[in-house]
Structure 1
Amino acid sequence: MILTDFDYARAASLEEALTLLAGTDGARVLAGGQSLLPGLRTGAEKARLLIDVRHLAQLRGVGQDGGELRIGALTTLAELAADPLVRAGAPELAAAARANGDPQVRNLGTVGGNLAATERPTDLPVAAIAAGARAELAGPGGTRTAPAEELAASGVPAGEVLTALLVPAAGAAAAFEKTADRATRYPVCAAAVRITPDGPRIAVTGATPRALRLRGVEDRLRGGPYTTTAVLAAFRAEPRELFVPGRGTSAEYLGHLAGVLTARALARAAAHSSA
């Protein structure tokens, strides 16, 4: 299919992008375009104006302030996967970026675009939730932050621009696992974990309606052990309606798969934390 008609503007600054968003109903922000442009071709997405922010240097790059990483929204998935600060402090995010698509997608796709895509499961949101990350959003009222779980539920609010992801740097006690659809590379199921002094943080996507933190599973595993048997038992106690059947899979299968991937991720995270 071909793209529908829309206007195009290249924003010279974040402030100009916000002004254009506020002044046009149906305006959309264009970053890597790996989700938005295919959606426009198929009709799944609509836009009257595309606001190109790809050249705004202030939205790119990774830095560290104390115990927190600041990852610019225009940082590509390839840059995220290779960044030494991310690999050391938030390995679940680096692994999720490496698992995303193919090299062409990772070289163009951005952190912000992957986090903002709510129409299909993507890899970064589940890792961001497990990491306890916050999204930094700029809008008419200034800059604010929101939990990554909130962003996964509702997307970027109209009139705002996702500018960065703020991630606690927790070291190596984190991991990501994924079973991908062979045709699209989207996750059939993906799980991300981070082991903290208060217990594990566990999030799942693909098998669930959206990227979700599984607090019930966390509570059942608090204090350990993180054996496969214990993890699968914790997942069996979750309501089956939490898992959404599709693509020839049942809720029972997806619940089991989510447990298997979580057990693998917890085993790797625990091994790294004790190394």
Structure 2
Amino acid sequence: MILTEFDYVRPVGLEEALTLLAGTPGARALAGGQSLLPDLRTGAARARLLVDVRHLEELRGVETAPDGTLRIGALTTLAELAAHPLVLERAPEIAAAARANGDPQVRNLGTTGGNLAATGRATDLPVAAIAAGAEAELAGRHGRSTVTAEELAASGVPAETVITALLVPPGGPAGAFEKSADRATRYPLCASAVRITTDGPRIAVTGATARALRLRGVEDRLGAGPYTTDNVLAAFRAEPRELFVPGRGTSAEYLGHLAGVLTARALARAQAHA
């Protein structure tokens, strides 16, 4: 049962879709629908108009830009993202996060852009995108722009805009993702993503925190390593306990420890493939 009434339109191109979103208060873009449709059913979301962008080929595909940046179209499904050779080679934390999402049905329908844009719940791609230093490309009636994955996680997708692509900088295989999933929903109870760079590790967590966050304090404490489990756990113990949000029968102390354990595993995996 859908608890809200809405109109539906299938635009022929991105520009028409943007015009419809800008011209109709309460309009929402529909891609995979794995978050939006359940929210409409429960009343957690409202929409006056659904703008179906699922068929727009300009928002699909994975390619490499001249500078080595990986451009992942927003309509690339999670299943495609998890198996794409370029993503596996150059952004393994992104591929692993996509592979960890839900079940095969969710991954075959859910999209890269939709997973990044989901609000009100922890999802897997944002934390991996933050660790990878990725940006989201946005399109609106006044042109295109980019925001960092970290900024997107903090503020969400601006009104009347859509995510058109995820832009992942060159990084190679030294990235990894680890997750402890809620058994009922498959959303992350806690997930950690890392990318080891020449300047040290980039570390981000989600589920255990209010939103996907980059943990610069942990990064600074670990520096150039070694990234032993003891060192990683000590770095996490130094983080403020209020950073971790208790819930679903878990304490902040437990979630802080779990985030450290998952990060240690991710760093070990990243080092093994570097």
Written as runs of structure 1 = structure 2, the 5 A alignment for 1:142-153 is 142-153=143-154
What displacement does 1:169 show? 2.5
Structure 2 counterpart of 1:139 = 140
Counterpart in the other structure of 2:45: 45
C-alpha separation in 2, matches of 1:57 and 1:186: 29
> In structure 2, what is the equivalent of residue 17 of structure 1?
17
Q: Could you tell me which residue of structure 1 aligns to residue 85 of structure 2?
A: 84
1:159-238 equivalences in 2 (<5 Å): 159-238=160-239
Match of 2:73 in 1: 72
Q: Which residue pairs with 1:57 in the alignment?
A: 57
In structure 2, what is the equivalent of residue 265 of structure 1? 266
Residue pair 1:89, 1:172 contacting (<8 A) in 2 also: yes
Asked whether the equivalents of residues 118 and 154 of structure 1 are also in contact (C-alpha less than 8 Å), the reply is no
Deviations 1:66-121 (A, max 9, x none): 31100000000000000000000000000000000000000000000000002100
Give the deviation of 1:154 after TM superposition: 1.3
CA distance in 1, matches of 2:151, 2:38: 25
In structure 2, distance between residues paired with 1:68 and 1:261: 27
SS of the equivalent of 1:67 reads coil
- Contact 1:139–1:161 (CA under 8 A) maintained in structure 2: yes
Q: Secondary structure at the residue paired with 2:18?
A: helix
Structure 1 residue ranges, 4+ long, deviating more than 4 angstroms after superposition: none
Deviations 1:32-72 (A, max 9, x none): 00000000001111100000000000000100013110000
SS of the residue 1:192 aligns to: strand
> Match of 1:104, SS?
helix
In 2, the alpha carbon distance for the partners of 1:34 and 1:225 equals 40
- DSSP 3-state at the match of 1:118: coil
Cα deviation per residue 1:139-168 (whole Å; 9 max; x = unaligned)?
Answer: 122111000011111111001111000001
Write the letter of the residue equivalent to 1:238. E
**Distance in 1 between the 2:219 and 2:68 partners?**
24
Q: Which amino acid aligns with 1:24?
A: T
- Residue 258 of structure 2: SS of its match in structure 1? helix
Query: How many Å separate the matches in 1 of 2:225 and 2:75?
Result: 38
**Structure 2 partner of 1:106:** 107
> Which amino acid is 1:96 matched to?
A
**Residue 2 of structure 1: how far off its partner (Å):** 2.9
**TM-score (norm. length: structure 2):** 0.99
Counterparts of 1:271 and 1:79 in 2: how far apart (Å)?
25
Distance in 2 between residues matched to 1:64 and 1:183, nearest whole Å:
37
| Distance of 1:50 and 1:169 partners within structure 2 | 35
Equivalences, count = 273
C-alpha distance in structure 1 between counterparts of 2:20 and 2:3, whole Å: 21
Tell me the distance in 2 between the aligned counterparts of 1:39 and 1:118: 11
SS at match of 2:45: coil
Residue 45 of structure 2 aligns to which amino acid in structure 1?
E
CA distance in 2, matches of 1:9, 1:141: 22
Separation (CA, whole Å) in 2 of partners of 1:44 and 1:5: 13
Give the residue type in structure 1 aligned to 2:5: D
SS in structure 2 of the partner of residue 136 of structure 1: strand
**Residue in structure 2 matched with residue 31 of structure 1 by the alignment:** 31
Aligned mates of 1:70, 1:246 — CA distance in 2? 36
Q: Deviations over 1:206-239 (max 9, x none)?
A: 0000000000000000111100000000000000
- Between the aligned residues of both structures, percent identity stands at 81
In structure 2, C-alpha distance between the alignment counterparts of 1:11 and 1:36, rounded to whole Å: 19
Q: Per-residue deviation at 1:3?
A: 4.1
Q: Counterparts of 2:57 and 2:162 in 1: how far apart (Å)?
A: 15
Give the C-alpha shift of residue 4 in structure 1: 1.7
